[in-house]
Structure 1
Amino acid sequence: MPGENLTRLEAQERQRLVEVASYDVALDLTVSDEVFSSATTVRFSAEPGASTFIDLIARRVHKVVLNGRALDPRTVFAESRVQLDGLREQNVLEILADAEYTNTGEGLHRFVDPVDGEVYLYSQFEVPDSRRMFAVFEQPDLKASFRFTVTAPARWQVVSNSPTPEPVVSGDIATWSFAPTPRISSYITALVAGPYDVVRSELTSSDGRTIPLGVFCRASLSEYMDADYVFEKTRQGFAYFEEHFDYPYPFEKYDQLFVPEFNAGAMENAGAVTFTETYVFRSKVTDAVKERRVVTILHELAHMWFGDLVTMKWWDDLWLNESFAEWASTIATAEATEWHEAWTTFQAMEKTWAYRQDQLPSTHPVVAEINDLEDVLVNFDGITYAKGGSVLKQLVAWVGRDAFFAGVAAYFKKHEWGNTELRDLLVELEATSGRELGEWSKLWLETAGVNTLRAEIEDDGETITSFAVLQSAPDDYPTIRPHRLAIGFYNLRHGKLVREHRVELDVDGERTEVPQLAGIRRPDLVLLNDDDLTYAKIRLDERSLETALAHLSDIDEPLARAIVWGAVWDATRDAETRPSDYVRLVLQNIAAETESTTIRTTLNQLVTTVRLYVDPATRQGILEQAATDLWRLAEQAEAGSDAQFQFVKFFAGLASTAEHVDTLRGLRDGAIALEGLAIDTDLGWELLEGLVLNGAAGEAEIAKALEADNTANGQQAAARARATIATAEGKLAAFEAVINDTSLPNAIVRNAALGFQHANDATLLQPLVERYFDQIAAVWSERSYHMAETIIVGLYPAPLASRELAEATRAWLEENPEPPALRRLVIEALAGVERALAAQDRDRR
């Protein structure tokens, strides 16, 4: 990725010199299948006589005219920049270029639907990719008004940030001239175009305006698009946010577009949000996925205020966008929709992600040091999203819910259409809460690492005589933080573990006495961080741990169960609990779990434990038993239940014996049936992958399945199944295709990488270790960031989890001191192997 970086110092200098008024961007999407015409006119003021540059990634630049003076593109355009010298106080810049469509999900992505041959386009610009569609000062604090004019086939839908105008039609071609946007950052501008199917509705904003709504998807998926449900969640979110933010929705309309081959869950383009079309459910999905879609819908809606209306100055405050949207979408989901256990989901999913990320060598403060664009790209991680959201939940507990919402409302009013830094938010929260937050911010947002909390309890055999909360920190990140948390006392009553006492308090320092708990009968289970208010690992005292392990499924509250699940999983990852014991705990208790995301997260952790953490000498037997038990649980589960569905899916992923193969084959051909379970298209692919995993199916069966399902989903599933083929030749073929075939789009590469990692016999990957390390530097230098990251992470032979792999990884790191962003990916991979080796050692004891 040479020549496409931008440093913070360069951005600060450019912001000092330049103020942008407007962009007029004319795009012609009828030029060819590879490029489109991009004509940009920028009006901006500058320091007279100054020099700067504008960003552009294009195949060819035809014209550069600055203040009426033609510049030679061959002289002023290089790599990703157009040099601008001799600026005036007021400037007009015109650039005409041929820009390229991508198949990587960056810039203007082009997709051809295999069902009907139709072309679909959508933009994805965060962080630095609006420059792939038009010439732009690509940094968040140079906001401007954007006016797009788009020429495209007349039968297409064309959507941008402003309401779609009536086009001017000339034969089969039409031109749409959009009204200018408010002042926004370039990364949230948008263009979506193609023969999308659309359902329209509207709502009334809190200020009385009628806000048009649209839900879009590809025509071949339109029969599966439940637009009415999406509109319902959108209306609930609008009402919740407008009330609690005390600020009407800031844009003119709200379109939600479900697009193919999307790299993330969604993107908060102002008034034109794009979502992964995996949220269009053509087959049965788990309740966890259904809930996640709702959280994602509300996450992007929250961004219309926090991120789009008010935007960070530079990417070191990226967390202000993402962490706030994580927190806001979770509380709105819990309080405004039917998904009332959203905080349980947050604990099971987001906080698990955060704790994992925060214990990697690459951990960083929530407010990360962002020196350039490459730093931004690698920091879209579990710290930015999940830890940041967790810390915000702690901040709400610290300042009080009402004070928090009041401070946020004041922040929006004061900084509307502007750019901010962290301190701007804290000032408003200090004013509404009366709490001084400078020290809190330093400890929570400007330092890395996660604390561990333990209870120290003394009793006289029945009654607590003293109670203290002990706090520790890792040696590398020794910060001790203030926590607002709750302590719950749980007792066995009529076969259930129920909470009978709760105290909420401030914990600070390495030891905090809790005198109000003295004199109370010692309970069966003491749960630190009850209600999950703070961000910290917890360890259960010996008596509580025994109770939890014996009665995990009897804990009455879903959130309390999720906290215990998380504590035991964390102890397993830290090699404090034997991995084989964790496997038994899961298989003995998961059937009673009621929350879909907790089931899904726990079963994924089960897979990690079985495949990486248990002693390799006993792994095969544990693998076989785990799959057998999952099938037994599926047979015993309630007919048609989410649990039954999940048990079958995870059974297919762990199947490893001839008996398992017979079951998979019987399910797929109808010889075996479970009441309430339909083998639909997507589940059929998962069962086929389980057969391929065991050498019981191969290319012929994959090709037959693809012939029956020659859709985008089918092609992705086929790529994953092919990469799962359980031979050294099959793994090599998958590896070579991903490395060498640049025509493969992002979604195919992503699925092929998942199949490559799927192996019962990890030694199939051993011959590729040397080849992997020989290739990754070239991949990094030649591919776009997203594709490089997908390939480098996806093809790392992690299933080997061996000392030999660790040694080879260390050797590469010693020989390659640059570039830092690539090294970070490899360092994180090594950390995963080292953690697995420590867990394996623990399993032997």
Structure 2
Amino acid sequence: MAGNLTRDEAARRSQLLTVHSYDIELDLTTGPEAFRSTTVVRFACSQPGATVFIETTDATGHQIDLDGTPLSADADGRITLPYLAAENTLRVVADFAYSGTGQGLHRFVDPVDERVYLHSQFATADAQRVFACFDQPDLKARYTLTVTAPADWEVVSNSPELAVQDVEPGRRWKFAETERISTYLAAIVAGPYHVVSGEYRDDQAVIPLRALCRQSLAPHFDAEEILEITRQGFGYFHTTFGMAYPFGKYDQAFVPEFNLGAMENPGCVTFTETYVFRSRVTDAERENRAATILHEMSHMWFGDLVTMQWWDDLWLNESFATYAAASALVGSTRYKDAWVTFADNAKARAYRQDQLSTTHPIAADIVDIRSMEVNFDAITYHKGASVLKQLVATIGPDTFFAALRRYFARHAWSTATLADLLTALKEETGRDLTGWSADWLETTGPNTLRAEFTVDESGTYSSFAVVQTAPAEHPTLRPHRIAVGLYEFKGSELLRRHRAEVDIAGARTELTELIGQASADLVLVNDDDLTYAKVDLDEASLGTVLASLGQISDPLAQAICWTILWDLLRDARLHPSRYAALVLQHVAAMPNATVRRTLLNQAVAAAKQYLPAAERVGTLSTLADGLLNLAAAQTPGSPEQLAYARAFVASATSPEQLAVLQALLEEGSDAVPGVVVDADLRWSLLLRLVVTGQAAQEQIDAELQRDPTDKGRLNAAACTAALPTPEAKAAAWQAIVGGEQPLGTLKAALGGFGAPEHVALVEDRAQAYFDVLTTVVDTWPSERTQSFATAAFPSALGSADLPAMTERYLAEAQPPAWLRRLVLEGRDEAVRARTILANPVLGA
């Protein structure tokens, strides 16, 4: 396992070392288990005679030479480097194991054609699984890479290839020296990839573009749409950042079994190949892919050109990239309502994470690498982006981006901290933002805002204030820039009549500018979604929303109201069945495809996760009937019909509904005219039939024979784990905890194993879950442990002893902080679900 570098260790190395360069040679022709890696590191030491260490992980057969002195590797994957000179040259030759967990250099064999594909993933600290390195972000260096690979492979790295030579037994690729980048940003993609080339050109730069995918996915690869979004992004960021893309060429590789959505390796961005759509998708999936493309592109400046000094400031990368992606979507693509998506989708994730007992400041205190790995969360990405959106609303977008241009110019090819960003903002605005930083970036928990007002006899407001509260455990009251919208009915539409944009602070802010305004049918605090805060509606406004949400004409205002309702459900103030009914009633009025998908998913989740069995069946059946009617009412074959059909499949419960699923699987679109039953939908149909006891292993095997791809294998694993018999669950559990399954298969199996309908079948695994964690924490790779800890946490609908089991495990096992956090988050969600189950308020 990789070592767990601490912040103090990293700071000590930074004080001592300046790393000049890495020359890395990889031989990928040495067999399926391992590859040969030769690393030459040149570095300076400010205190000659000092001792430091360099890392290697999963390496054997070391040959180590420091300035002519042979050395040995330590047992923990570190190499101690004693008695350093002012200038040093280290050479390390070793055989490194290919990864099956997505960390380091991952190896994948395509089951369709047996072709082999490799890709690297080095964040947070896994470059040491491929070459010897000082694996921390602030020790930037230049990289020169040489790769020997099979003759029919493409090899891609951060920089362009200088030469490709035929050698025995393949070809040798020599790449140009990179600019100064961090270890976690170095990259290699290798294999017989399908390549589509293009170009971006403007008055600042000419950028060669390429998009890559597996050969077996090439017929489904819509590379031109990907390259078009890429061109639009470069146009936007060149204008907004005032600085040309700094890394020359721009390759985007869609790779198999990728652990993340994407990774911002400069010049060689990697993406999960789920973004290669082998089946029909809605605009929600396309918008999400476009957002990811632009998110990674923005990192070329914020993250790659200027890099955080240590992982405390990961949010500087991810929050900014999330904000910048939404801004670029609106400013340069067809997804002009991306802020609507952000308001409903990103904010909901952030509010959920921020209300867990494990919430943390946006600018987190990261003491070591393991603590960092669980911080790739909705606070780091979505709350941080929401806070930046609030800052931009306060100081203006032109001022904000001008400050960023200062920041980029000052810290190019180096590292920076939050203090450096605040300095640039102060220089541009003339405002000291340290207080803003303390309130927003260094505290936790969301505020709640609500309007309080009185109405006089003439029907106008005689007083109006915004009241701000905070949870007792996180009592900070923050400054907010907000808009308050007054909405009234005009015919069949609910339209905004008046808008007041104001600054509020403290527990109560009087809004005298609204005194004398006619009372509204809906008072919407945080209209236009300028700040990050939960919102409570007054009683009359809540009544308007419950009755007429779909009549709100503005999609952003409607999305804000949907978020308010979801918060009410999760706070046990709105019955889950009522929420599902509201989605059925009003979802067709939401024009944003991503928000529509979120609402449909949440309606299904409300029934499955927050209702007892008896109510769940009835609510799901009612929901499924409504969704089938909505699907039938859409244009045949349209994306909208597909969205409703998917939700129908996920909720189908009654015998009649399950018969429709069976008919779709056997007969195709004749069962619901217009619905195209392609490979992915077939698996969804089969999974629901398996969960409900209408299909068995024979059907799973037959479907896998029909779709023998890697995605077919993952779907089959999910279906097999979802078989509703004690024997099948026992077998699935043994496979899950055995540690032999590839990481993707493990995740798929856990998804099928934990179906809410099967709580009684898996209830006896609750204590076993904690026993497994105790056993594997020091032996499984961190990615596997994290996936199991999160996805296998027992259902809140199961054992009544679950909270006590959790506390007992935490007390007795004393797990490391990162694992303790994941278990606590599972417990928090279970407690919330049980609270909802016990509070049937606002009736169904």
- TM > 0.5 fold call: yes
Does residue 154 of structure 1 match 2:144?
Answer: no
Q: Is the 8 A contact 1:809 1:826 kept in 2?
A: yes
**8 Å CA contact retained: 1:205, 1:249:** no
The one of 388, 391, 405 equivalent to 2:387 is: 391
- What is the aligned partner in structure 1 of residue 504 from structure 2? 507
1:72-221 correspondence to structure 2 within 5 Å:
73=72, 76-207=73-204, 209-221=205-217
Deviations for 1:195-233, whole angstroms, at most 9, x for unmatched residues?
0000111122542x3211100000000111111111111
1:524 is displaced (CA, Å) by 0.7
Following superposition, the deviation at residue 434 of structure 1 comes to 2.3
Match of 2:418 among 414, 418, 422: 422
1:657 aligns with 2:651: no
What per-residue deviation string (whole Å, max 9, x for no partner) do you get for residues 754-805 of structure 1?
1112242321111211221111122322111111111121122226355332
Residue 680 of structure 2: aligned partner: 682
CA drift of 1:58 comes to 2.7
Are residues 1:694 and 2:688 paired?
Answer: no
Match of 1:289 in 2: 285
CA contact (8 A) 1:233 1:294 kept: yes
| CA separation of 1:205 and 1:162: change in aligned 2, threshold 3 A | farther
Q: CA deviation at 1:591?
A: 2.7
Does the alignment pair 1:772 with 2:780? no
1:297 & 1:59 partners in 2: Cα distance? Answer: 34
- Comparing 329-338 with 59-68, greater Cα deviation is found at 59-68
Distance 2:752 2:758 in 1: 13
Q: Give the equivalent residue in structure 2 for 1:812.
A: 809
Alignment of 1:424-823 (within 5 A): 424-461=420-457, 462-670=459-667, 672-742=670-740, 744-798=741-795, 800=797, 802-823=799-820
Cα offsets for 1:356-397 (capped at 9, x unmatched): 000001100000010000111111111000101111101111
Question: More displaced, 580-589 or 710-719?
Answer: 580-589
Aligned-pair distance for 1:166? 3.0
The answer (yes or no) to whether the contact 1:480–1:510 under 8 Å persists in 2 is yes
Deviations 1:402-439 (A, max 9, x none): 10010001110111001000011111111212222010
Contact 1:726/1:759 (<8 A) preserved = no
Q: 643-652 vs 833-842, which deviates more?
A: 643-652
Counterpart residue number, 1:23? 22
Which of 345, 349, 352 does residue 349 from structure 1 map onto? 345
Structure 2 CA distance, aligned partners of 1:501 and 1:425?
Answer: 36
Query: Matched residues in 1 for 2:246 and 2:386: separation?
Result: 27
Comparing 765-774 and 527-536, the one that deviates more? 765-774
1:50 corresponds in structure 2 to 50
Task: Indicate conservation of the 8 Å contact 1:798/1:829, yes or no.
Answer: no
Q: Does 1:358 align with 2:354?
A: yes
Letter in 1 for 2:12: E
Contact 1:144–1:183, Cα closer than 8 Å, also in 2? yes
Is the contact between residue 763 and residue 799 of structure 2 (CA under 8 Å) also seen in structure 1? Answer: no
CA distance in 1, matches of 2:336, 2:795: 37
Does the aligned pair in 1 maintain the 2:151–2:166 contact within 8 Å?
yes
Which residue identity lines up with residue 368 of structure 1 in the other structure? Answer: A
TM-score normalised over the length of structure 2:
0.98
The 3-state SS of whatever aligns with 1:538 is strand
Which range moves more in the overlay, 334-343 or 58-67?
58-67
CA distance in 1, matches of 2:21, 2:640: 53
The answer as to whether partners of 2:660 and 2:671 remain within 8 angstroms in 1 is no
Q: Which moved more, 1:668-677 or 1:79-88?
A: 668-677
Which shows bigger deviation, 833-842 or 168-177?
168-177
Query: What is the aligned residue count?
Result: 839
Equivalents in 2 of 1:492, 1:641: separation in Å? 31
Residue number among 296, 305, 309 corresponding to 2:305 in the alignment: 309
Q: Give the residue type in structure 1 aligned to 2:22.
A: Y
Return the alpha-carbon distance in structure 2 between the equivalents of residues 249 and 651 of structure 1: 45
Q: Contact 2:580 / 2:604 at 8 angstroms: preserved in 1?
A: no
* 1:64 partner letter: I
**Partner secondary structure for residue 501 of structure 1:** strand
Matched residues in 2 for 1:77 and 1:168: separation?
36
Task: Say whether the 8 Å CA contact 2:550–2:586 is kept in structure 1.
Answer: yes
Contact kept? 1:54, 1:82, Cα under 8 Å: yes
- Give me the whole-angstrom Cα distance separating, in 1, the residues matched to 2:689 and 2:225: 36
Alpha-carbon distance in 1 for matches of 2:606, 2:799: 14
Letter in 2 for 1:698: A
Amino acid at match of 1:712: D
Match of residue 249, structure 1, among 226, 245, 249: 245
What amino acid does structure 2 have at the position aligned with 1:646? A
Separation of aligned partners in 1, 2:476 and 2:8 = 29
Kindly indicate whether the alpha-carbon contact (under 8 Å) linking 1:206 and 1:248 is maintained by their aligned counterparts in 2. no
Shift of 1:616: 4.5
Aligned to 2:162, the other structure's residue is in SS state coil
Q: Is the 8 A contact 1:766 1:800 kept in 2?
A: no
CA distance in 2, matches of 1:553, 1:645: 21
Q: Deviations over 1:15-62 (max 9, x none)?
A: 001110000011000111010001100000012000000011033142
Q: Which stretch of the first structure deviates more once superposed, 616-625 or 645-654? A: 616-625
Which segment is superposed worse, 590-599 or 290-299? 590-599
Give the whole-Å Cα distance in 2 for the aligned partners of 1:200 and 1:296.
Answer: 20
Deviations 1:481-538 (A, max 9, x none): 0001111111111201111211111011110010000001011111111110100000
Q: List per-residue Cα deviations over 1:547-583 (Å, max 9, x = no partner).
A: 1111101110111111000001101101122222222
How far apart, in 2, do the equivalents of 1:84 and 1:725 lie? Answer: 54
Partners of 1:801 and 1:837 within 8 A in 2: no
Tell me the distance in 1 between the aligned counterparts of 2:757 and 2:748. Answer: 18
Between the aligned partners of 1:356 and 1:242, the Cα distance in structure 2 is: 35
Long gaps (5+) in structure 2: none
Q: Aligned-pair distance for 1:14? A: 0.6
Moved more, 631-640 or 118-127: 631-640
CA apart distance, 1:259: 0.3
Which of 355, 364, 367 aligns to 1:368? It is 364
- Aligned 8 A contact 2:254 2:276 in 1: yes
Counterpart-to-counterpart distance in 2, 1:205 and 1:182: 22
Q: Are 2:226 and 1:227 aligned? A: no
